[in-house]
Structure 1
């Protein structure tokens, strides 16, 4: 009887082993870039190797794919990673991807570009080194019509249900990360770094995007830490440290035809340290687009020596003189600012200059405490033009709402 039981047990284990062995697994197919021809000498252009690896990973069937960049320096000319893919792709970067120092060696407007992909993951402790120092003096397109267009570090177009976690972007030639028509995207634990005087090095820029979550991220640049443009909706930003830079900016908006509404923004538990601006909305004096900016919440925001902690500028003109075509036709409404505190280097700590034709509506200030710590003496002040709203709680400076 004992013998029969032992045989039966062994038979069951054999059947179970066969079932497990025959069952297909969904383990990622692992592509270490060095094993597929990439060299970490910091000189060899690995663009072709990376493109070939992407094609294998993207088209693989029967399970997800993982592309791994180990420690080392991988020089990379401009590359495009294009879908759609037959599986989910994970891109793990532990080494350094090095851009060409000469901006003319990147032929496209983005150094590393992802397009038409779902379920993409980019992670690791590695660095995207844009080598932007040689390019920044060439950023003179406002004065020079024959200027060379500089490349952004990494771009995403028509990429959905995806994420970036943990990587560092260093010294981009122009913007660091650019997002166009991207939906359901998470950005966490990312570090973005460029000097405060590096021109147009926006940290994160979004247009026609939705359901974006940004958290636990440090951004220091020469332009906007985060730029939110036409058609972006349902964005949640939390635990971001911004500085240097121009703050978290909505806009500029209203200059071009066919722009779309910007709605549903929450910014919370965030620090602006030594930035030019903090909370910022900017629109042109133009009737090109009649759009809505609405349902914004800013709460638990610390300002440390910020030049313009809170600013709405509906007469935006970055390089005067600007052609005034009309009062701004961008309607700003349903804006709540709660527990905004810290120091302002500008005496005007709250500056709300709205459109005469489309005044700001339902602006709510709750517990604002911004002290003036600039060279000019005296307490902080507030300026209001064409604003309808309310204020309650502690109010420094004294509010100027109707």
Structure 2
């Protein structure tokens, strides 16, 4: 009996040792997650102007970025952390997470002299920015200074957060409020997801685009609420393979493609999907705009707009190839855009328009739109001065199903 007990003890000890060795080998292979709390570097979340916070955040990022033992996390706890303009650069050794639990507070006055964004992530792969916290740009102090719509020599203001040359990354569960200009700026990113994000600024705040995207590809924007004084999503040149779904947009200017065609080095835009979304109280709904006086021959192609509700939207469907703001084209109507728009589908778009011009497709005489498809459109105007109207100029394609307003001939 004693010998059996001894054998069992030896076997148990051997099993425990084997599991311990296996566990150690697993941890050594996968690495351990290490947290870098900004408070340990001297950051204080008391809401007061504190120049040490920027240094503390920078040092925490540097240590997390060079951590080679596994995944790393820069951790910002509850509290209000005043933060000056800052850049978090890679490349980093492994997957890195930037977790914001509290509120980040921008300086009241911040021009984009050094960089376009207040908080910038650059040259980082496998980055996650999350935590449920708030990014407060304190834009109300700067909006009265924003006269860029009429002053070509204006000083541009910094956007809340930017990602440049970032791949295989995501932003989720954060709030961006009161940006001085745009909220989230994406440039040259690849395989990037934005989910569960809320973006807000007053409807009369100037140039406060929600999400701006340029020269980027393979992106998903899902389950996002955007209420600003400009475009909910602005899609600029060089953007491809972008999927937008379950977005609540309004107030604001809608989801805009362009403007495009103004500069010689612009790239084409292709592969854009907007679906299962709601526009409420916006100036425009689905808008594509190209410069009338264009200097580049680019294209906008392979778009799908599907299953979208409009509630009191100024112009629900717009293609404008005579875009020329603030009289910058010498004389309106004297130019024809050189941007080719083709293969754009509008399917199941319904709701109410606050103007009679519910559907306006005005394409270029030189490069008429090709392959535009309208199917199951029902846009109603409830004003006293008549019914909703549709305008289709220089456009080729097809019409299927019920179309209201129905006076558009393609």
For the aligned pair, the TM-score class normalised by the smaller chain equals over 0.9
Q: CA deviation at 1:390?
A: 1.2
Q: 1:299 aligns with which of 306, 326, 335?
A: 306
TM-score, scaled relative to structure 2: 0.95
Matching residue of 1:114:
121
Distance (Å, rounded) in 2 between the aligned partners of 1:185 and 1:146:
33
Render the CA deviation track for 1:6-54: whole Å, top value 9, x for unaligned: 2222222123223423541522210121122110011123111101111
Render the CA deviation track for 1:373-394: whole Å, top value 9, x for unaligned: 24x4221110111011211111
Q: 1:339 aligns with which of 335, 343, 348?
A: 348
CA-based RMSD:
1.5
Q: 1:316 aligns with which of 284, 300, 323?
A: 323
1:104–1:392 CA distance, 2 compared to 1 (3 A): closer
Q: Are the counterparts in 2 of residues 100 and 106 from structure 1 also a CA contact under 8 Å?
A: no
Q: Are the counterparts in 2 of residues 153 and 173 from structure 1 also a CA contact under 8 Å?
A: yes
Q: Are the counterparts in 2 of residues 305 and 373 from structure 1 also a CA contact under 8 Å?
A: no
| Range with bigger deviation, 382-391 or 325-334 | 325-334
Determine if the alignment matches structure 1 residue 389 to structure 2 residue 392: no
Q: 2:232 aligns with which of 215, 220, 225?
A: 225
Structural mapping, 1:212-291, within 5 Å: 212-291=219-298
Query: 1:350 aligns to what SS in structure 2?
Result: strand
Q: 2:357 aligns with which of 348, 357, 364?
A: 348
Render the CA deviation track for 1:86-140: whole Å, top value 9, x for unaligned: 1111011110000001225985321000110100000111000000001111111
Query: 2:140 aligns to what SS in structure 1?
Result: coil
Q: Are the counterparts in 1 of residues 132 and 173 from structure 2 also a CA contact under 8 Å?
A: yes
Matching residue of 1:36:
41
Matching residue of 1:379:
387
Q: CA deviation at 1:62?
A: 1.6
| Range with bigger deviation, 29-38 or 176-185 | 29-38
Query: 2:64 aligns to what SS in structure 1?
Result: helix
Query: 2:20 aligns to what SS in structure 1?
Result: helix
Matching residue of 2:209:
202
Query: 1:398 aligns to what SS in structure 2?
Result: coil
- Stretches of structure 2 that go unaligned for 5 or more consecutive residues are none
Distance (Å, rounded) in 2 between the aligned partners of 1:141 and 1:302:
32
Render the CA deviation track for 1:209-233: whole Å, top value 9, x for unaligned: 0011001000011110000011100
Q: 2:31 aligns with which of 26, 31, 42?
A: 26
Determine if the alignment matches structure 1 residue 12 to structure 2 residue 21: no
1:321–1:7 CA distance, 2 compared to 1 (3 A): closer
Render the CA deviation track for 1:138-177: whole Å, top value 9, x for unaligned: 1113434553321011011100000000000000000001
1:143–1:335 CA distance, 2 compared to 1 (3 A): closer
Matching residue of 1:370:
379
Question: How many correspondences in the alignment?
Answer: 401
- Stretches of structure 1 that go unaligned for 5 or more consecutive residues are none
Determine if the alignment matches structure 1 residue 99 to structure 2 residue 102: no
Distance (Å, rounded) in 2 between the aligned partners of 1:235 and 1:390:
24
